[in-house]
Structure 1
């Protein structure tokens, strides 16, 4: 195992990258670790995956033009931004948009302590499934803001607004980078331990970021990502499938429709919005 402060690593400003032996092996210069003057740390991996973190261990994982995700340092917020799924969790509430508006199969869902709500844009009402408020499924009329558009990069907003970052943390980031440990395994995968966070990239490009009990798994080649945080489990999967789970409450979507459950009652709609 290597330390990034070893003499085999080269340093330019705040950036640190792999030794020349990695270049000769065809693996390129990855991982590249960059301590920013603005008080954040970036770990750049192959296939365009970047893992950003702060000194208090907020983490943002992104693959340009494919997806991004984040958890904040307290574990109170987590989210996914993906072409097929935009999922934002804050405390006990989870807001979900699936598909691309104004696509006719665009679906929206909200998980709150009292139940699970879901609808499609052409529907004048939403459905609610609950074992406490209505004991089953019922149509309800809600304000549009109950289903926020999530049309901005909320992963970026959460990462910077809900963590310790700024120029005053730049020197701490530099020290964190110096203590990082890197290893290339026999199977060709790369592992890195930095700031108490374990990062692994397999030969096929799949990435795992682990800070127990939180983890992010993503595949840049398949365009999939999963986030497991303190209060939520969420994923954007292949074939336009996605889900969000908080405790016993859950929402699953696919091309054929949407399924919602509060743990006791289940409701679903097809791709046209018809209750089935």
Structure 2
């Protein structure tokens, strides 16, 4: 299996793969080659993203303690555990489904170990992923979309679609 690289940005959706010498852009005019580049994502950058512009460390201990002491917890008759911490609701069902939501579900993260699915929804982005017989990764941001199902990769933007087929060949739809 080869790696595919893709990004959604103001110009459209750019993509390439390890096996492809060209970079493609799907924009409002259609599909074409481009000189776009991709950042090296092979190193772990999660901590710098997590801590960027966050309040953390000893100076925030009292604020965190206050938020935790104001947290609410309850268990429903169906066995669903619920927490509200600093206006973020976390719930977990007996089968392991976890939902995290903020601002009346405008921001929501769901994971389910029983069926191998995850989803993230915000006012700006919707993403789903699953394992198993219908494995896939889907990302939507406005008119831009990406979908990968383990064999083919397709991007869509402004009514235009292109991607790689199961032979890693460019296909324009």
Q: Return the TM-score normalized by structure 2.
A: 0.87
CA contact (8 A) 1:236 1:243 kept: yes
**1:247 CA displacement:** 0.9
**1:168 CA displacement:** 0.5
Q: Return the TM-score normalized by structure 1.
A: 0.57
Superimposed CA distance per residue, residues 119-177 of structure 1 (whole angstroms, 9 cap, x where no aligned partner) = 1111110121111xxx11112344xxx22342344443222123111210101111111
In the TM superposition, what are the counterparts of 1:1-276 in structure 2 within 5 Å? 103-104=1-2, 106-131=3-28, 135-142=29-36, 146-212=37-103, 213-239=106-132, 240-276=135-171
> Residues of 2 paired with 1:153 and 1:206: CA distance?
27
> Residues of 1 paired with 2:71 and 2:43: CA distance?
33
SS of 1:175 mapped into structure 2 = helix
> Residues of 2 paired with 1:227 and 1:264: CA distance?
24
> Residues of 1 paired with 2:39 and 2:122: CA distance?
21
Which consecutive unaligned segments of at least 5 residues does structure 2 have?
none
> Residues of 1 paired with 2:44 and 2:130: CA distance?
20
CA contact (8 A) 1:182 1:191 kept: yes
CA contact (8 A) 1:241 1:255 kept: yes
**1:205 CA displacement:** 0.6
> Residues of 1 paired with 2:88 and 2:159: CA distance?
36
CA contact (8 A) 1:124 1:141 kept: no
Pick closer, same or farther for the CA change 1:157–1:195 going to 2, 3 Å.
Answer: same
> Residues of 1 paired with 2:41 and 2:112: CA distance?
23
Task: State which drifts further: 240-249 or 152-161.
Answer: 152-161
**1:272 CA displacement:** 2.3
* Residue in structure 2 matched with residue 56 of structure 1 by the alignment: none
| RMSD of Structure 2 on Structure 1 (CA) | 1.7
> Residues of 2 paired with 1:195 and 1:205: CA distance?
23
Paired residues, number:
167
Pick closer, same or farther for the CA change 1:230–1:156 going to 2, 3 Å.
Answer: farther
